[in-house]
Amino acid sequence: MQNSFDFALALPEILLLIMAGTVLLIDAFSKSETRHATFLLSLTSLVILTVVQLIQWNAGVAGTTFSGLFVMDSLAHFLKVVSYLAVIATLIYGRGYNEARDMTRNGGELYSLTLFALLGQMVMISAGSMLTVYLGLELMSFALYALVAVRRDHLASSEAAMKYFVLGSMASGVLLYGMSMIYGATGSLDLNQIAAVIGSGQAERLPLVFGVVFIVTGLGFKLATAPFHMWSPDVYQGAPTSVTLIIAAAPKLAALAITLRLLIDGLHSLAIDWQPMLVLLAVLSLAIGNLTAIMQTNFKRMLAYSTISHMGFVLLGLLSGVVDGGSQAAGMAYGSSLFYMVIYVLTTLVTFGMIMLLSHRGFECENISDLKGLNRRSPLMAGLLMLSMFSLAGIPPLAGFYAKLAVLQAVIGAGYIWLAVFAVVMSLIGAFYYLRVVKVAYFDEPEGETAPIDTGVLTNGLMTVNGLLVLVLGILPGGLMATCVSVIRQSLQF
């Protein structure tokens, strides 16, 4: 156990808070409509944070601080590095899109709010107590609510923000109520102490089970799993695409982190109670996500339902960790979920980044029909779109295929053969709407503008690297998979 107030463990969070506050102050006095200075400062801050985090990880910096509220371990280092990189890519992809829509003209809240949302995610990832989970969650959520409404003159964005705020507040209340039940049964908010009390059999079972139900419900909303997915399609479609990507990428890593912290670190002894709930959520997510996505004509809305189905796969790995009360295969099962989430975020960056690059002033590339003839305008963009769609569909040799395979192996190893078969069938159904996008981009005649797509060198290069990673990690997934399993085994108690 580290010193009760070892600030070195929270150095990245402290630096991020300082940087976010600095960006906010500079914005307040800046007269620039493009907010170029705050954009560069935000990127510089994220690069510095990535370097600091990697140095700490390499030096083996780990422990618990702030009286058990904050945990720094291998899982935290890994997820934070991936989150930094995801936000860097998000800001670069969205730069031109934001300028074309004057989203920084009346204020640069976009960048400061993004950094504050990231700070909330960092706190969630390092949560050692239910109190820290909730504080980080609310910090992230309030920043995201504001980001959705950042286009003040856009009716769809305002409506999406209101829906997100109302449903998000309800979900946070449900999660908080579940935490209060656990606190009442165990007398502690510390996840390690909760696990110890439950393991000793001293806690009354009924309030524990009720608490687990409410906690899984709240987590289901944050992960956008069915039947708690109602907010996702509306928010994805209504929010500016740059904000949609902010919501769709890094926050999913933080949501997985608190799911692991709560269910594995704190409530692992109650796996017999939360496993059936995850089975139900996974089945509903796979079915509703894939079947509803087929009917969508709006690309962003289709990707929202696609996300719901992918979160079902993440849950499949989480529910496979405990078999007959034993946790022998837990490392591989939870590692497969972590691997799947990282690959999902990587592919999501390509798909939503593509939508932003194809949009321009006065035109939103939101409908699938807007992709007609993309191959004629930009073979590179069409190729990257095809890679991302094939990966999401789980077609070899792309990373999405190996991610699905790893999860299915964990599910079969846990004895849920029927669940693995169901997941495969739903994936085959889901392949239809992914292949339809590729068909439109390559074989349909273009409508309207057919001029070549002109993007910056930095954006083009980043998009190319992003797409190639999806291919390379499918051909050579061993290193990333081993890292995911290793950080799970080093960090979680099961």
Copy the structure tokens of residue 326.
């034993």
Q: How far is it, in rounded angstroms, from Cα 303 to Cα 392?
A: 10
Residue 115 buriedness (CB in 10 A; 0-12 / 13-18 / 19+): buried
Tell the residue number behind the tokens 């920043």, with chain if given. Answer: 143
Give a yes or no: residue 281 inside a domain: yes
What's this model's pTM, rounded to 2 decimal places?
0.94
Q: How many CA atoms lie within 13 A of 482 on its CB side?
A: 4
Domain boundaries, position 82? 7-491
Q: For residue 72, is it left (φ>0), alpha (ψ between -120 and 50) or beta?
A: beta
Rg (C-alpha) for the chain, rounded Å, is 22
- Which residue type occupies 373? G
| Confidence (pLDDT) at 3 | 46
Q: CB neighbours of 224 closer than 8 A, spacing ≥ 6?
A: 231, 232, 304, 307, 308, 311
Give a yes or no: residue 1 inside a domain: no
User: DSSP 3-state assignment of 378?
Assistant: coil
Copy the structure tokens of residue 266.
């704190």
User: DSSP 3-state assignment of 404?
Assistant: helix
Tell the residue number behind the tokens 């980080």, with chain if given. Answer: 136
DSSP type of residue 7? G
User: DSSP 3-state assignment of 65?
Assistant: strand
Q: How far is it, in rounded angstroms, from Cα 464 to Cα 462?
A: 5
Copy the structure tokens of residue 199.
């393991």
Which among 162, 165, 172 is positioned nearest to 124, based on CA atoms?
172
Give a yes or no: residue 297 inside a domain: yes
- Asked if the peptide bond before residue 397 counts as cis, ω within 30 degrees of 0, the response is yes
What does residue 447 show for φ and ψ, rounded to 5 degrees?
-120, 135
**Strand positions, DSSP E, 1-143:** 63-65, 70-72
Total length of the chain: 494
Give a yes or no: residue 144 inside a domain: yes
Which among 421, 412, 216 is positioned nearest to 329, based on CA atoms?
412
User: DSSP 3-state assignment of 72?
Assistant: strand
Give a yes or no: residue 13 inside a domain: yes
Give a yes or no: residue 269 inside a domain: yes
Tell the residue number behind the tokens 């107030």, with chain if given. Answer: 5
Bridge partners for 326 per DSSP = 323
Give a yes or no: residue 386 inside a domain: yes
- Which residue type occupies 74? S
Q: How far is it, in rounded angstroms, from Cα 156 to Cα 489?
A: 44
Q: What is the dihedral of CA 19, 21, 25, 30, to 10 degrees?
A: 50
Which among 274, 246, 245, 258 is positioned nearest to 171, based on CA atoms?
258
Positive or negative CA dihedral for 414, 417, 418, 424? positive
Instruction: Report in angstroms the alpha-carbon separations of 63 from 1, 282, 400, 468.
Output: 6, 33, 33, 36
What does residue 162 show for φ and ψ, rounded to 5 degrees?
-65, -45
Give a yes or no: residue 403 inside a domain: yes
User: pLDDT tens, position by position, for the chain (494 residues)?
Assistant: 444 788 889 999 999 999 999 998 888 887 776 678 888 999 999 999 999 999 999 999 999 989 889 999 999 999 999 999 999 999 999 888 887 776 666 556 889 999 999 999 999 999 999 999 999 999 999 999 999 988 877 788 889 999 999 999 999 999 999 999 999 999 999 999 999 999 888 888 899 999 999 999 999 999 999 898 889 999 999 998 999 999 999 999 999 999 999 999 999 989 899 999 999 999 999 999 999 999 999 999 999 999 999 999 999 999 998 877 677 788 899 999 999 999 999 999 999 998 888 887 667 788 898 888 888 888 888 999 999 999 999 999 999 999 999 999 999 998 899 999 999 999 999 999 999 999 999 998 877 666 566 677 888 889 999 999 999 999 999 999 999 999 999 998 87
User: DSSP 3-state assignment of 28?
Assistant: helix
Q: How far is it, in rounded angstroms, from Cα 328 to Cα 166?
A: 41
Number of domains in the chain: 1
Instruction: Report in angstroms the alpha-carbon separations of 431 from 197, 301, 401, 438.
Output: 46, 16, 12, 11
